[in-house]
Amino acid sequence: MNLPVALCVENARKRPWEPHKYESRQAQDQNLNMLVKWILQYENRTDTLSKAAHTRFYNDYPGRKKMITANE
């Protein structure tokens, strides 16, 4: 997936409650601002979950690929 950052933020705001990670919806939503800030840094970070790392992985993969650029 290669979604625009704005769409990733929108998806994060709409995500359903993840009971396997959080004891309540409220507990999940308490982390939303942190998650949005992390998403907004995607194109500038250099960690293994950054755009640079994902692009390298995609480009280096020798097999068949399909890039998804929008919610389907």
Over residues 29-58, the pLDDT tens digits come to 999 999 999 999 999 999 999 999 999 999
Per this entry, what is the length of the chain? Answer: 72
Residue 65 resides in a domain: no
pLDDT at 52: 97
Residue 9 resides in a domain: yes
C-beta separation of 3 from 71 below 8 A: yes
Torsion of CA 34, 36, 37, 43, to 10 degrees: 140
Residue 71 resides in a domain: no
Q: What is the Cα–Cα distance from 13 to 3, expressed in whole angstroms? A: 15
Residue 30 domain boundaries: 5-60
Residue 69 resides in a domain: no
Residue 51 resides in a domain: yes
pLDDT at 20: 96
Residue 11 resides in a domain: yes
Number of domains in the chain: 1
pLDDT at 72: 79
> pLDDT, tens digit, for every residue of 19-30?
999 999 999 999
Residue 70 resides in a domain: no
Residue 34 resides in a domain: yes
